[in-house]
Amino acid sequence: MYKFHMPTKIIVGENCVKENESELILGGRALIVTGKTSGKRSGALDDVTKVLEKNKIPYHVYDKVENNPDIESMAEGGKFARECGCDFIIAVGGGSPMDGAKAISVYATNEPKDGSDFELYDIFKGEYKNKPLPMVAIPTTAGTGSEVTPYSILTLHKEKTKKSFTCVDCFFKTAFLDGRYTVNLPLQVARNTVVDAMCHLIEGYTNKKASPSSDYMALEGLRIIGRHLDKLKDGSFDTCSCTELLWASTLGGMVISQTGTTIVHSMGYQLTYFKDIPHGMANGYLLYEYLKRVDKKRMAQCIYALGLEGLGELKEYLEQILPREQDFAEDELIAWSEISIKARNVASCPYPVTKELEIEIYKNSLL
Ligand code: NAP
Ligand code: FE
């Protein structure tokens, strides 16, 4: 038995925000949740505010979402939404603002208070009383697929890692995919984020929870990325290829909504938390060591969908586009494995995972 549930409407193409005004406006007062620069640099913030102003919808901008947002600052965002009286959210940015918006939408309608029946960390249990604010998403990176997942990944300082919460009420109502918003991404950000999408598709395809519906989307997403591997090397993108990559990333989101991720992600979180390595780059460092241990047939299907001849070619490619600038010590890898072995997605891995195996994967990937 398998299920497919993805309630987000997806609108794809140039100028899709301006041409679908009614899909963007879900209430009478908007909160735009974005990062410090992505909203402005992508041009998406300008398109959104023009539509809101034209329709006389008041709005407030919360542009304080940092990369890998932490839970405390998202509670601040929720307080800001409450104080401003916003009744819907427009998330504009990469995975950080989109994931941040999901947490803000819960905190906006459920004020966390110590000693009450909803405390700050209860968000990870998915236990809250009031429905989160409705939201739409406008991704400005082609990587996380957060626009179609029920997950929000937040930095959790008290556990020194990143942790996800799953909330079916946090699916965006609509996602707008427009390559104009990603075409000017700095090349290394474009590479890191596409590698994240590649990891979602591969981790989904090789996952214990893979199903015919997730398999179908995973291979199609990998084929699309495969057609753009050269562009990712030299940065020769145009709007059309960027819209295609956004679609591949959205397919990746739909895949992991069904399957979840694997140890590539949970081990990668430590690289981000302790070394500030961008999410996609962290996953890319670990992908080869993960993939060489999976079922040979499934692994080969991923490689061929990417248009490559063998796993070695993928390894070389990833080494070319993901630079290594940091050194790692054996002690820290051992300490990280203590954290990552506790992650939920260890159970979705297609082979048994022990702490010792994680140490071996870290060592082979990073030392
Ligand atoms: P990101 O952290 O959202 O953004 C990375 C950088 O790119 C930021 O400095 C951002 O600037 C900049 N940027 C974004 N769009 C831009 C644009 N169009 N032009 C110029 N600069 C731009 O990166 P991400 O890889 O998309 O998201 C990573 C986060 O998503 C992680 O926290 C990860 O754990 C999470 N994630 C979530 C899911 C899910 O299912 N929910 C899946 C995978 C990953 P500003 O910060 O200044 O705006
Ligand atoms: Fe990811």
Q: Angle 50-51-54 (CA atoms, 0-180°, nearest 5)?
A: 85
| Cα(96) to centroid(ligand 2), Å | 11
Indicate the top mutation candidate among 37, 172, 239 to test ligand 1's pocket, ranked by most ligand atoms within 8 A of CB. 37
With contact defined as beta carbons under 8 Å apart, do 209 and 45 qualify? Answer: no
What ligand has the least distance to the C-alpha of 164?
1
Phi, psi of 34 (to 5 degrees): -150, 175
- 190 shares a domain with 148: no
Q: Give the per-residue pLDDT at 126.
A: 85
Q: Give the per-residue pLDDT at 97.
A: 98
- 191 shares a domain with 176: no
Q: Among residues 163, 180, 197, which one ends one of the domains?
A: 180
Tens digits of pLDDT across the chain (367 residues)? 988 999 999 999 999 999 999 999 999 999 999 999 999 999 999 999 999 999 999 999 999 999 999 999 999 999 999 999 999 999 999 999 999 999 999 999 999 999 999 999 999 998 899 999 999 999 999 999 999 999 999 999 999 999 999 999 999 999 999 999 999 999 999 999 999 999 999 999 999 999 999 999 999 999 999 999 999 999 999 999 999 999 999 999 999 999 999 999 999 999 999 999 999 999 999 999 999 999 999 999 999 999 999 999 999 999 999 999 999 999 999 999 999 999 999 999 999 999 999 999 999 999 9
Q: Give the per-residue pLDDT at 127.
A: 83
- 60 shares a domain with 167: yes
**CATH at residue 281:** 1.20.1090.10
Q: Which of 154, 163, 175 is nearest to 251 (CA)?
A: 175
Indicate the top mutation candidate among 102, 138, 153 to test ligand 1's pocket, ranked by most ligand atoms within 8 A of CB. 153
Domain assignment of residue 1, yes or no: no
- 65 shares a domain with 116: yes
Domain assignment of residue 2, yes or no: no
Domain assignment of residue 172, yes or no: yes
Q: Among residues 129, 149, 180, which one ends one of the domains?
A: 180
Question: CA 137 to CA 333: how far, in whole Å?
Answer: 36
Q: Which long-range contacts (CB under 8 A, 24 or more apart) does 303-307 make?
A: 305/219, 305/222, 305/223, 305/226, 306/198, 306/222, 306/223, 306/225, 306/226, 306/229, 307/223, 307/226, 307/227, 307/229
- 122 shares a domain with 73: yes
Note the Cα 85 to chain centre separation in Å. 28
What ligand has the least distance to the C-alpha of 256?
1
Overall domain count for the chain: 2
- 16 shares a domain with 164: yes
Q: Whose CA is nearest to atom 46 of ligand 1?
A: 35
What are the residues facing 251 on neighbouring strands?
Answer: none
- 337 shares a domain with 232: yes
- 172 shares a domain with 119: yes
What ligand has the least distance to the C-alpha of 95?
1
| Cα(54) to centroid(ligand 2), Å | 36
Q: Among residues 127, 156, 180, which one ends one of the domains?
A: 180
Using CB distances shorter than 6 Å, the residues near ligand 1 are 35-38, 41-42, 67-68, 93-96, 99, 140-141, 143-146, 149, 151-153, 162, 181-182, 184-185, 189, 193, 196, 253, 279-280
Which residues neighbour ligand 2 (ion) by CB within 5 Å?
196
Phi, psi of 59 (to 5 degrees): -145, 160
Within 13 Å and on the Cβ side, how many CA atoms surround 32? 27
What are the residues facing 52 on neighbouring strands?
Answer: none
Note the Cα 268 to chain centre separation in Å. 13
With contact defined as beta carbons under 8 Å apart, do 123 and 102 qualify? Answer: no
Residue carrying the six token digits 């060591």: 289
Q: Whole-model pTM?
A: 0.97
- 45 shares a domain with 124: yes
Domain assignment of residue 173, yes or no: yes
- 27 shares a domain with 44: yes
**CATH at residue 72:** 3.40.50.1970
Domain that holds residue 300: 185-366
SS3 per-residue string spanning the chain:
CCCCCCCCEEEECCCCCHHHHHHHCCCCCEEEEEECCHHHHHCHHHHHHHHHHHCCCCEEEEEEECCCCEHHHHHHHHHHHHHHCCCEEEEEECHHHHHHHHHHHHHHHCCCCCCCCCCHHHHHHCCCCCCCCCEEEEECCCCCCHHHCCEEEEEEHHHCEEEEEECHHHCCCEEEECHHHCCCCCHHHHHHHHHHHHHHHHHHHCCCCCCHHHHHHHHHHHHHHHCCHHHHHHCCCCHHHHHHHHHHHHHHHHHHHHHCCCHHHHHHHHHHHHHCCCHHHHHHHHHHHHHCCCCHHHHHHHHHHCCCCCHHHHHHHHHHHCCCCCCCCHHHHHHHHHHHCCCHHHHHCCCCCCHHHHHHHHHHHHC
Q: Which of 235, 261, 16 is nearest to 139 (CA)?
A: 16
What are the residues facing 34 on neighbouring strands?
Answer: 92
Taking each helix axis from N to C terminus, what angle separates 263-275 and 355-366, rounded to the nearest 10 degrees?
A: 60
Question: CA 175 to CA 163: how far, in whole Å?
Answer: 24
Domain assignment of residue 4, yes or no: no
- 102 shares a domain with 225: no
- 173 shares a domain with 203: no
